[in-house]
Chain A
Amino acid sequence: MIQTMKFHWDQLANNLWPEQGTAQIRPFYFEFVPLDRIFQHVYDLNLSHEENHELVSQIIEIIHFEMLTTLLDYIPEQNHVELVTRLHHESNPHVLLGGYDLSTDVVLASLRRKGQNLHETLLITLINSDTID
């Protein structure tokens, strides 16, 4: 168990770590998708180093793309590039979205719902292939 955990840690640290000097943060909406159970199921699959990295990366990207799509639905198109850049430097959604003509609470509620659905979808996808034995 401990060895496997260390393996996952090393693997993720080696492969997902950003280049030195980048000052980027993960987008705030990742808070709305609880990852514990998702990655517990990934862990249960006993994948190889490479397969594990690929699967974890894809899951993270699915969450990123899906949540970003929902967020951008509320933002004027001319601000999309700017917002995507700011996403990686501002963790407070109220500060991030405060300058746009929208209700931050409405956007956050929508992202929470999206996060819940996404969480359930990913869990079902992973459990679907998980055998009872």
Chain B
Amino acid sequence: MFPPSQENGYNKDKQQNMSQKVVHHHVKKLHQKAKETLAKKHPKGWAAASKKTVGSPVDMLVNKTGHLATTAALAGTLIANKSVLTAEQLTAKIKNQNVQEEQQITEVTQPQEPKFKVLQRSLTEFLPTAPKKLATGTSAIVSKRIYSILNIRAKTELDGFALNTDYGYMGAEQHLPRFPGDTISKHDQFQESGITRSRGAFGYFSPSEAALTQEAIMQEKYYVVVQSFLSPAWNKNSHQFKDWLKFRKVLVVNPNTGKAVVGVVGDAGPALWTGKQFGGSPEIIRHLNSGKHTAKTTVLVLFVDDPNNEIPLGPVGE
């Protein structure tokens, strides 16, 4: 599903063991809770359902003709009854199942409609209506869906750092001066948005106009404002966090439109009282809202795992 990891085999095994333990732990808790709820609410029903003479609940799922829900789920509809299939029959059925799976995967990874529409549908079906920091499980689903649609690894937490939230409201910001003495007339788009008086919290994008590069121009065009000062890492080591965060690549998605853009962290804010958790450059705000200027946009903001700086800044999924 995902490209091979750079990690060595030992670390992968270790990571997988951890995953297995966490799954067992959580499933066990759900199992215990389900058992207790049934026993407490309906003691007679529980007694009947758990009676040894009837068989364990797992046994009771199977009928004498052999329809096994779990097996059907695992291996497609491999077996229709308990009669034993020959090795050839089993292999043929599994091959057929694999072909069907591959077709489904192709359909998911190569959508006919624009990717932003697939993304919009894929995210809105399970995201909370009101933005709030996503639960670990939900953010993992978000990351997986984004990867499968945009081929971008985007995560709530990267290198041990996380923001105060990953799902919130984004305010419309002005342009930022890219170098000392930069003016709004030197910006090629959305001059009506204006420009801030001072540089962003992470400094100029370029030391001078002469040294201005295309990369620095793109960084300002697609800069994001985050509440670094409210993030957990800020209290632990603000200097280290600030260095790490400076021009850090992020993916911003408006789940309501599916529009997405890769930008960089260029400033700190907005203030708590604004009720917003992020800010976006004029270019970002317009793109996320299909060309409209909007004061408050619902967004997902995730760190982009791009160690080799291969993902270009700007809109994605068009």
Contact surface of A with B, Cβ cutoff 8 Å: 1-2, 5-6, 8-9, 12-13, 16-19, 21-27, 30, 34-36, 38-39, 42-43, 45-47, 51, 54-62, 64-66, 68-69, 72-73, 77, 80-81, 83-85, 88, 120-133
Contact = CB atoms under 8 A, between A and B. Distances in A.
Interface in B107-152: 126, 135-138, 140-141, 143-144, 147
Contacts of A23: 63-64
B208 to A, nearest CB: 40
A68 B38 contact: yes
Contact of B70 (A60, A65, A132): A60
Which of A9, A13, A18 has the most CB atoms of chain B within a 10 A radius of its CB? Answer: A18
Given A24-B54, A46-B20, A60-B57, 17 more contacts: A2-B91, A9-B74, A16-B71, A18-B60, A22-B55, A24-B63, A26-B69, A38-B73, A58-B27, A58-B28, A60-B61, A65-B34, A65-B57, A68-B42, A72-B41, A124-B141, A129-B19
B216 interface: no
A84 B12 CA distance: 45
A133 B38 contact: no
Contacts of A126: 23, 27
Interface stretch (B45-53, B174-182, B267-275, B286-294): B45-53
A132 B154 CA distance: 10
Contacts of A68: 38, 42, 45, 49
A123 B67 CA distance: 23
A57 B58 contact: yes
Which of B34, B47, B66 has the most CB atoms of chain A within a 10 A radius of its CB? Answer: B34
Given A21-B64, A58-B31, A66-B37, A2 B95 contact: yes
B3 to A, nearest CB: 9
Contacts of B143: 132
Which of B15, B16, B135 has the most CB atoms of chain A within a 10 A radius of its CB? Answer: B16
A55 B19 CA distance: 13
B94 A5 contact: yes
Contacts of A56: 70
Interface residues of B, number: 70
A128 B136 contact: yes
A56 B61 CA distance: 12
A35 B73 CA distance: 5
A16 B62 contact: yes
Contacts of A42: 74
A50 B15 CA distance: 20
Q: Is the interface of A mostly helix, strand, loop or mixed?
A: helix
Given A47-B20, A57-B58, A64-B57, A125 B71 contact: no
A64 B49 contact: yes
Given A6-B90, A24-B55, A131-B15, A55 B27 contact: yes
B75 interface: yes
Nearest to A71: B45
B60 A26 contact: yes
Given A65-B37, A132-B144, A6 B61 contact: no
Contact of B74 (A18, A19, A39, A83): A39
A84 B49 contact: yes
A87 to B, nearest CB: 8
Nearest to B6: A133
Interface in B223-259: none
A129 B27 CA distance: 11
Nearest to B72: A35
A58 B58 CA distance: 9
A-B pairs, top 4 by smallest CB distance, nearest first, are: A35-B73, A129-B22, A128-B137, A124-B137
